[in-house]
């Protein structure tokens, strides 16, 4: 069974942290000697301690929840230093180029959507789901990281799921088309997209499959990359509000 707490005699040893891998709103992230990510919390963010403890009870292949809480000398909120989470080998969505296989990306998105529905039903609500906190690799898929601002509470499961699916859909559409305030010349696509990004009842992956099928049929092409999807999408189907 994995340790939920790690206690150091004083501060975290310098050789525990191999390299700095990112800065967040609440702390600094380091790669550790065990190939985990240690998030060293800022003193101004220590009020998140009890929320992080709740989040550490969750485990996911696709969402990097806190796994092990780290303390100085003893377990208490006053001695809380930060936490460990899984390291995901991926590229931030903002840094991806247009050559990625878009169909493979959508297949990975469908897997993440299934996980989001499950986690939502368990009471987790997304917060701070921006493109810097979404990683992608063709082998490992789409991963959500830096989750310590997510909230855990007693919400209506259907409402919680809808809100999280809207958050995810809007973030992915902002990555794909630099906006999620979009309408389509095809009314069926409009309704399907509304069910994803405004209502949160449908999967964005289903919409994207149908969108690409429409493009291929009407433009007599074969969309395979993100760049092709963007080019054909904007030139033929999309009009921004």
User: Is the pLDDT at 170 greater than 80, yes or no?
Assistant: yes
Q: 144 or 129: whose pLDDT is higher? A: 144
Average pLDDT of the segment spanning 109-128: 93
Q: What is the pLDDT of residue 236?
A: 61
Task: Round to whole Å and give the CA distance between 166 and 184.
Answer: 18
What's the mean pLDDT in 109-115? 97
Q: What is the pTM of this model?
A: 0.90
Query: Cβ(82)–Cβ(41) under 8 Å?
Result: yes
Burial 90-119 (b: 16+ CB within 10 A, else e): bebbeebeeebebeebbebbbebbeebeeb
Residues in the chain: 241
Long-range own/partner contacts, residues 167-171 (CB < 8 A, 24 or more apart) = 167/126, 167/129, 168/112, 168/113, 168/116, 168/126, 168/129, 168/204, 169/196, 169/197, 169/200, 169/204, 170/197, 171/93, 171/129, 171/130, 171/131, 171/134
Residue of higher predicted confidence among 185 and 157: 185
**Each residue's pLDDT tens digit, 13-53:** 888 999 999 887 899 999 999 999 999 999 888 889 999 99
How buried is residue 196: exposed, middle or buried, by Cβ count under 10 Å (0-12/13-18/19+)?
A: buried
Report the percentage of the chain scoring pLDDT > 90.
Answer: 59
Would you say residue 145 has pLDDT above 90?
yes
Question: What is the structure's pLDDT at 213?
Answer: 93
Mean pLDDT across 62-78: 91
Pairing relationship of beta strands 5-8 and 68-72 according to DSSP bridges = parallel
pLDDT recorded at residue 155: 64
Instruction: Encode pLDDT of 78-106 as tens digits.
Output: 889 999 999 998 999 999 999 999 999 99
Across the chain, mean pLDDT equals 89
pLDDT of residue 1: 39
Mean predicted confidence (pLDDT) in 111-119: 96
pLDDT score of 198? 76
- Residue 240 confidence (pLDDT): 44
| Domains delineated in the chain | 5-86 (3.30.200.20), 91-240 (1.10.510)
The whole-number pLDDT of residue 241 equals 36
Confidence of residue 127 (pLDDT cuts 50, 70, 90): confident
Q: What is the mean pLDDT of residues 201-227?
A: 93
């Amino acid at each position: 069974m994995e340790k939920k707490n790690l206690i150091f005699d004083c501060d975290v040893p310098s050789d525990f942290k191999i390299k700095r891998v990112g800065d967040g709103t609440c702390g600094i992230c380091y790669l550790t000697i065990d190939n985990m990510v240690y998030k060293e919390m800022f003193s101004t963010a220590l009020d998140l301690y009890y929320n992080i403890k709740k989040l550490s009870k969750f485990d996911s292949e696709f969402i990097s929840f806190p796994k092990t809480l780290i303390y100085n000398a003893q377990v208490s909120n006053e001695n809380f230093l930060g936490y460990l989470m899984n390291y995901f080998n991926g590229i931030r969505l903002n840094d991806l180029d247009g050559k990625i296989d878009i169909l493979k990306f959508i297949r990975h998105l469908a897997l993440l959507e299934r996980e989001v529905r499950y986690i939502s039903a368990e009471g987790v609500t997304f917060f701070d789901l921006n493109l810097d906190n979404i990683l992608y690799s063709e082998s490992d898929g789409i991963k959500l990281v830096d989750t310590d601002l997510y909230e855990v509470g007693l919400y209506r499961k259907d409402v919680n799921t809808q809100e999280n699916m809207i958050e995810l859909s809007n973030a992915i559409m902002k990555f794909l088309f630099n906006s999620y305030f979009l309408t389509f010349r095809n009314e069926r696509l409009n309704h399907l997209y509304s069910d994803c990004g405004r209502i949160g009842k449908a999967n964005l992956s289903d919409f994207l499959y149908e969108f690409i099928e429409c493009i291929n049929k009407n433009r007599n092409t074969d969309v395979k990359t993100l760049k092709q999807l963007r080019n054909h999408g904007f030139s033929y189907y999309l009009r921004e509000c």
